[in-house]
Amino acid sequence: VWVAELFPTTIRARSMSIQSMFARLGAMSSPFVVDIGQKNAALALLIFATPCAICGALDLCLPETRARKLPNTTDDIFSDDGESESEP
């Protein structure tokens, strides 16, 4: 999944910064989860696997963006004109 295809130009940088923040929070919390894993391996596996499974399931809800014009504004997200870029 490419972030550039999901968010319109007007909010793309903000969404990238929010995603980067959550990635850093996950990286900071991972040593603590590894420490939990030394005491209870199943719990650590559950903590690491649950967000992956949830995100995998949510990815199924995303629209297909192949050969479609990328949105420039938030209004473009909700328009159902079905326009697509012409392929050479």
- Read off the pLDDT of residues 19-44 as tens digits, 9 standing for 90 and up: 899 999 999 999 999 999 999 999 99
Nearest alpha-carbon partner for 71 in 28, 29, 15: 15
- Read off the pLDDT of residues 36-86 as tens digits, 9 standing for 90 and up: 999 999 999 999 999 999 999 998 987 777 887 777 888 887 776 555 454
Residue 14 pLDDT exceeds 50: yes
Q: Which amino acid is at 14?
A: R
CA distances to 2, 9, 57 from 82, in Å: 20, 19, 25
